[in-house]
Amino acid sequence: MDKIIVEGGYPLSGEVKISGAKNAALPILISSLLVDGSCTYSNVPDLMDIESTKNLLINLGVCMETDGDIVKMDAAGLNNYEAPYELVRKMRASILVLGPLVARLKKARVSLPGGCSIGARPINLHLKGLAALGANVDLVHGYVEASADTLKGAEIYFDTVTVTGTENLMMAAVLAEGTSILRNAAREPEVVALADVLNKMGAKIEGIGTSVLKITGVESLKPVSVSIIPDRIEAGTFMVSAALTGSDIKIINCEPAHLESVILKLKLSGSDITIGDNSIRVKGGDKISSIDIKTMPYPGFPTDMQAQFMVLMSVAKGFSVISETIFENRFIHV
């Protein structure tokens, strides 16, 4: 596609159904590496990052079938512990295979992920945590090489909140001997979704949704059939579009509890919002009032909604301040 032509001036109306959350689907698909059997995932979004993850998992020896938004994955034949650069470079979340590979195959060789346009995303906390669990971790020619005859439970403190770090070490710890404690763990709904899936597989994770996770290791996990949670950022983007255009939109197949900070800010800006069990109706107001935004780890205002709100505030009445605390280059859209 060379260009997109948009003819403005038309109000939006009707319903829109929200897709599965990419940031939940990626770690959940990767968690299948921990299971000697076939798992089924539904409501999987059709995105390039998902395809990249599928290709990486197939390369590791996972058998896979896709039918629409349903993906069946069987890692019984998992036979490769190396994630090469040509596959990892396409998506930073590929580093999430590190923990499961060490836990299942006792070793892993994973390429360091490439750079990120919105800011640095170091994996040092992943590596320190894996070492605390008893793995030997080295950096060799752009690859993370990790091995452990047996992972053992440990207490790990994250100096900064890290979503992928929490997910990686949580997946490693579920098959470790003994008990692990993850402190200052990420609380995002996508992290909660992964923990819930791991528990359905037979893991023993306590404190889900809090900043302290207690994980008691088990010998093995069993296959599951689960549905991916709705994408809160996609839902939030449609909510802002209604506010921007003075439209009336009903957003279905969403989780309002995951969007409390966005809902509050939109109400303060003048939108009328009605909450249902799995729906949100947004009616844009006659005028848009200025509000301040500061991005924070969940349950704070999501960094992934900052750009959309900046567009909204560009046509608001009054002066607004937007502060980005998560990614140092996330104002490149300005």
Per residue in 129-177, pLDDT (tens digit) is 999 999 999 999 889 999 999 999 999 999 999 999 999 999 999 999 9
116 is catalytic: yes
Average pLDDT, the chain: 94
> What does the pLDDT read at residue 8?
87
Do the two domains 22-227 and 230-323 of this chain adopt the same fold? Answer: yes
Superfamily of domain 230-323 in CATH is Enolpyruvate transferase domain (3.65.10.10)
Strands 204-206 and 212-216: antiparallel
Single out the catalytic residue among 39, 63, 116, 254.
Answer: 116
**Strands, E assignment, 201-271:** 204-206, 212-216, 225-227, 248-252
Q: How many C-alpha atoms does 7 have within 13 Å on its Cβ side? A: 1
> What does the pLDDT read at residue 121?
56
> What does the pLDDT read at residue 329?
81
Cβ atoms of residues 273 and 280 within 8 Å: yes
In this predicted structure, the answer to whether residue 304 has a pLDDT above a threshold of 90 is yes
In this predicted structure, the answer to whether residue 115 has a pLDDT above a threshold of 80 is no
In this predicted structure, the answer to whether residue 119 has a pLDDT above a threshold of 80 is no
Task: Please state the domain extents for the chain.
Answer: 22-227, 230-323
CA 138 to chain centre: 26
> Packing angle between helix 98-105 and helix 124-132, nearest 10 degrees?
20
Range with the lowest mean pLDDT among 104-113, 223-232, 250-259, 261-270?
A: 104-113
> What does the pLDDT read at residue 154?
98
Mean pLDDT, range 184-205, rounded to an integer = 98
- Kindly indicate the confidence band of residue 114, based on its pLDDT and cuts at 50, 70 and 90: low
> What does the pLDDT read at residue 99?
97
CA 87 to chain centre: 19
Q: How many C-alpha atoms does 219 have within 13 Å on its Cβ side? A: 0
Q: Quick check: pTM over 0.85?
A: yes
In this predicted structure, the answer to whether residue 1 has a pLDDT above a threshold of 80 is no
Greatest mean pLDDT among 30-39, 83-92, 105-114: 30-39
Mean pLDDT, range 91-105, rounded to an integer = 93
CATH class, 22-227 region:
alpha beta
Mean pLDDT, range 34-52, rounded to an integer = 96
3-state secondary structure of 132: helix
